[in-house]
Chain A
Amino acid sequence: MRHLLSAKDLSRETAIEIMDTAEGMSEVAGRSVPRLPALRGKTVVSLFYEDSTRTRTSFELAAKMLSADVLTFSAKGSSVSKGESLKDTAQTLAAMGADAVVVRHAASGAPKLLADSGWIDAGVVNAGDGTHEHPTQALLDAFSIRRRIRSGDSTGTALDGVKVLIVGDILHSRVARSNIWLLNTLGAQVSLAAPATLLPRGIEHWPVKIHFDLDRALEEKPDAVMMLRIQSERMHAAYFPNPREYSRFWGLNDERLHGLSDDTLIMHPGPMNRGLEISAAAADSSRSTVREQVANGVSIRMAVLYLMLSGARRESQ
C-alpha cells in the first residue's frame, strides 16, 4: 500500500488484510510495554489543518506504539495558519524526511493532491478531507462490526450479508461516504435514513437503500445502526426546522432503543450530541460500540501505518 486516500479505492483483499493486521495489533495494546519496534527510524508526520484531537491522538498513539518518530504539524501555531500553501508545507515536510504524512484537511481532495503532486515522496494517509472521505474511520467501523458479530476468530472474514443502517447528515459526512463504499466492498447491505435535505444529489446511483422514515428503517432489523453527528452550523441553515424536530424524527431516542433487538450494534463516530441524534441511554447501552470504536481505531491505524511503511514500500524498493 503506497497511500490510503479513499475507502472507495480499497479492494476487498486489502481491507481484510488491514483488519487482520489490526487484529494482531490489538494484542500489543494489552501488553505491559505496548510497543513494537516495527517502524523504528521511520518518521510519521501528522498534518492537521482542522482541529481533531481524537483522530490526531489516535494516529499519533498508533505511530508511537510502532516505535515511529512522530512530528505534529498542527494548523494552529505553525506557518499553516499564516497562509503557507500546501505545496510549501509539503516540501518542508519532504525536506525533514517524512516517511508518511497523515493529513486532515477541510478541502476535499487535499490528500490526493499531496499524493499526486510530486511535492513530497512520503506515503499519504487521508485522515478526513472535507466532505469527501475518512477511510480509517470506515475501516475501524467495519473492524468493530466484524469483531462483535463474528465472535471468536474473525480473521480473514468480510461482512457478507450484514445489514448496516446509517442515520442522519449523509450530505456533509465523509464518514458516511467512506462507510458506504467500504461496507459495500465487504459485502454488507447499507441503508440510509435521513431527511431529503441531508442526502446528497444523485444518491439513487449509489449502492444503498434510502429511507425517509427511521422507524420503517429500523423495522428491517439492521445488525448495526450508525448514528451521525449533527453539526451545529446545520441547525440554522434550513436543513430541518429545528433540533427538536430532528431529534423526534431522526434521533435514536429511548423508545427506538427499546425497540431494537438485543444484538443490534449502536455505533457513533463521535463526538456525540447526547439528546440530539442519540439519547444518553442509547450511547451508554451495552449494545453501543462507541468506546470499542476508539480502541479499535488505534489498532486499525497501527495496521495502516505498518502495511504502508514496512510492507509494500519495502517490496517496491
Chain B
Amino acid sequence: MTRLLFRGATLSSGERTDILVSEGRILELGTGLNDAKAELVDTNGLLALTGLVDLHTHLREPGFEQSETVLSGSRAAAVGGYTVIHAMANTSPVADTAGVVEQVHSLGVEAGLVEVRPVGAVTAGLAGEALAEIGAMARSRAKVRVFSDDGRCVFNSQLMRRALEYVKSFDGVIAQHAQDPNLTEGAQMNEGALNSELGLAGWPAAAEEAIIARDVLLAGESGARLHVCHVSTAGSVDLLRWAKARGILVTAEATPHHLLLTEETARGYDSRFKVNPPLRTSEDVAALREGLRDGTIDAIATDHAPHPLESKETEWQAAAFGMVGLESALSVVHAAMVETGEFGWTQLEAVMSTQPAGIGRVEGHPLRIAAGEPAEIVFYDPEARSEFEASRLRGKSSNSPFFGMTLPGKVVATVHRGRLTVKDGEVVEPSDSKAENGMVTNG
C-alpha cells in the first residue's frame, strides 16, 4: 500500500500540520515532514476533517438500480467527503434479513470507495406488523446496528416499544421516521398559509411531533436508544430538548436541505423541492440551526434519495418525494451553519463525522486525526465558491434542489482506509489507483 504525505493542511482546531499516511493509518503529524517513498499531496489552505459519516443514505440497490446502485452512490459519497454511509432498508427485496444486508455490505466492499453499512428494517417488509430478523442482521457479516423502516413510520405503539427493547440486546438503535400516517394522508407540503394558497394538501407539524413525543416516552421507559430521522420542525426540536434534559437516550439528525431551504420553494411547483418530511418555514429552519448548535440535534444526515428524471419531471402531486444530497452536504452545512456564524469547524466535524459514527456504532470510531488512528480524512477547500451544477453530481440521479445556488467550499480529496478515493475533486476507483501505483493484485 502507498504512503501519502499531505503537506500543510489545517485541522478543525485551527492547527496546521502535515499528515503522513501509511498502511491505512496515520503514521505521523507535524510540520516539515519528509518521506522519500510517499506520494506528495499539496493540501495548503485545505481543511482536514475526519471522514464524514452519513446515517441516512438511499442506495436503491437491490431493486431500483435505475435510480442508484451501491457503486454509484459510493462515488457520490466519496466526492462529498464521506467515508462511511448507512444504506437504508427500503430496497426490493427489503433489507429485513441477513441475506439482503450481507449482499448490500459486499457490494459496498466491492465498490471500495466508502464503508457501506446496511440499515436493517425494523419490521418485516416495512409493513409495520411484525419484527424483521433484527438479531440475525445484527450478527451477520454486515453487523447491523441501525434499524429503520425509513419512508414509513413504525406507527403501532406496542410494536415500536418491542422494537426498542429488542435492539437494546444488540446495542442497536431504532431510527424512526416520525410521521403519523393518518394526519398525512395525501400530504404534499408543509401545512400553513402557503399550502392553502397553492392548493397542495398540508403536512402538519403535529404529524411529526406527536410521534416523537410518543417515542421518547417509550425510549425513556425501556432505557433503549432512539434516533429520530430528519427532524424538520421547531416543535420537534423542543420535544428533543425536553427528552434529553430528562436523560432519555435519544439522538436526532437534521438534513442539509432542512437547514437551508424553506417551503417558499414550492411556489413554482418544481418537484425538485418535494421531499419527505417537507421543507418548512424560516422559523423552523432557525430552530433546527439552534438545535444543532446547542447539541439537541446530534448529526447531519443527507437522506440522499435518488429518483429517475421521469419521477420528478411531472406534476407536483405525481412526483416522487426526495432529493439527492451526498455531493452537496458539506457545502450546504458550511453555508447554513459556519458562514452564518452558528458554529465552527470542530462542531461541524462533530455533527458530520464523530457523532453520527457514534450513533451508528461504527467500528474504530470516534476518529481523530492523530498518529495511529485509521486514515479516514476529507480535505476541503473552505475558500472555494461556485454555483452548484449537475456536473458536481456523481450518483445516477440528478434531483438536486441546489442547482443554480452559489455554495461555499469544495471537497478536494478524500482518504478512506489510507487510500485516496477522491483526488482533485474526482473519484479514484480502486482499480485506477492500483494501476497508477503499479501494484500487483494478489487475491
Contacts and interface: CB of A to CB of B under 8 A. Distances in A.
Given A112-B269, A201-B202, A87 B313 contact: yes
A82 to B, nearest CB: 15
A177 interface: yes
Interface residues of A, number: 27
Nearest to A111: B269
A236 B187 CA distance: 19
B198 interface: yes
Nearest to B319: A107
B384 interface: no
Given A107-B316, A107-B318, A108-B316, A202 B196 contact: yes
Interface string A158-196: 000000000000010010010000000000000000000
Contacts of B249: none
Interface residues of B, number: 22
B314 A201 contact: no
Contacts of A133: 199
Contacts of B201: 131
A109 interface: yes
A133 B199 CA distance: 8
A133 B197 CA distance: 9
A130 interface: yes
Contact of A202 (B192, B199, B313, B316): B192
A141 interface: no
A312 interface: no
Interface string B264-298: 00001100000000000000000000000000000
A86 B268 contact: no
Contact of B200 (A86, A87, A109, A202): A109
B317 A177 contact: no
Contact of B193 (A108, A131, A202): A202
A258 interface: no
Contact of B268 (A112, A200, A202): A112
Given A202-B192, A202-B193, A202-B194, A108 B313 contact: no
Interface in A113-137: 113, 116, 129-133
B195 interface: yes
A277 to B, nearest CB: 21
A105 B315 CA distance: 10
Contact of B198 (A86, A109, A171): A109
Nearest to A173: B199
Contact of A130 (B194, B197, B314, B317): B317
A235 interface: no
B196 A203 contact: yes
B314 A108 contact: no
B115 interface: no
Contacts of B268: 112, 116
Nearest to A129: B199
Contact of A113 (B197, B204, B315): B315
A85 B308 CA distance: 14
B314 A86 contact: yes
A204 to B, nearest CB: 8
Which residue, of B199, B269, B317, has the highest number of chain A Cβ atoms within 10 A? B199
B310 interface: yes
A106 interface: yes
A110 interface: yes
B165 interface: no
Contacts of B269: 108-110, 112-113
Interface in A72-114: 85-87, 105-110, 112-113
Contacts of B315: 86, 105, 107, 109-110, 113
A8 interface: yes
A129 B315 CA distance: 11
A132 B315 CA distance: 13
Contacts of B316: 107-109, 113
Interface string B314-330: 11111000000000000
Given A108-B200, A202-B192, A202-B194, A87 B314 contact: yes
A310 B376 CA distance: 66
A206 B195 CA distance: 13
A104 B80 CA distance: 43
B196 A174 contact: no
A205 interface: yes
Nearest to A171: B196
B191 interface: yes
A205 B193 contact: yes
Contacts of A177: 197, 199
Interface in B390-427: none
Nearest to B192: A202
A172 B329 CA distance: 38
A169 B198 CA distance: 16
A109 B310 CA distance: 17
B235 to A, nearest CB: 15
The 4 closest A-B pairs by CB, nearest first: A202-B193, A132-B199, A109-B269, A200-B196
7 contacts: A8-B197, A108-B200, A109-B199, A109-B200, A112-B268, A131-B201, A133-B199
Given A108-B200, A109-B200, A132-B198, 5 more contacts: A105-B315, A131-B201, A177-B199, A201-B193, A206-B193
